[in-house]
């Protein structure tokens, strides 16, 4: 499966988790309290990072792809950062960057 990935900076992680959970119709798949949250839906991998000074800004886009091994990053002609990664690689990067994530009850893995 291939999911589009989008990452945003937000002012308040808790307020954003509440709003985006309602918009996406499900709780986040993983949460690192005070820092990070990520949702995996059938079509989308959406993550937020609490960075108040950059709230509302696009951090990067890309694809989560089950056929991908590892992680790559590139920049397009407009200067936009694109990532390509597997589920397992993203999970490893969450832990190495933010620490152990908490899986939300009833979330998709």
Note whether residue 105 is domain-resident.
no
Note whether residue 69 is domain-resident.
yes
Note whether residue 27 is domain-resident.
yes
CA atoms within 13 A on the CB side of 45: 21
Question: Is pLDDT at 100 greater than 90 in this prediction?
Answer: no
Q: Is the pTM of this model over 0.85?
A: no
The three-class DSSP label of residue 106 is: coil
In DSSP terms, which residues pair with 6 in a beta bridge? 46, 61
CATH number for position 78: 3.10.180.10
In DSSP terms, which residues pair with 104 in a beta bridge? none
pLDDT digits (tens, 9 = 90+) for 25-65: 999 999 999 999 999 999 999 999 999 999 999 999 999 99
Other beta carbons within 10 angstroms of residue 33's beta carbon come to: 14
Question: Is pLDDT at 109 greater than 90 in this prediction?
Answer: no
Note whether residue 109 is domain-resident.
no
Provide the residue range defining the domain that includes 73.
Answer: 2-98
Token pair listed for 50 = 């609490």
Q: How many domains does the chain have?
A: 1
């Amino acid at each position: 499966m291939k999911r589009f990935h989008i990452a945003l900076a937000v002012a308040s992680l808790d307020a954003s988790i509440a709003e985006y959970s309602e918009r996406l119709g499900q709780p986040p798949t993983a949460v690192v309290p005070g820092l990070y949250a990520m949702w995996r839906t059938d079509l989308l991998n959406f993550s937020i990072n609490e960075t108040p000074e950059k709230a509302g800004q696009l951090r990067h886009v890309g694809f989560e792809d089950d056929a991908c091994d590892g992680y790559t990053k590139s920049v397009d002609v407009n200067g936009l950062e694109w990532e390509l990664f597997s589920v397992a690689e993203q999970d490893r990067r969450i832990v190495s960057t933010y620490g152990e994530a908490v899986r939300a009850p009833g979330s998709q893995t």
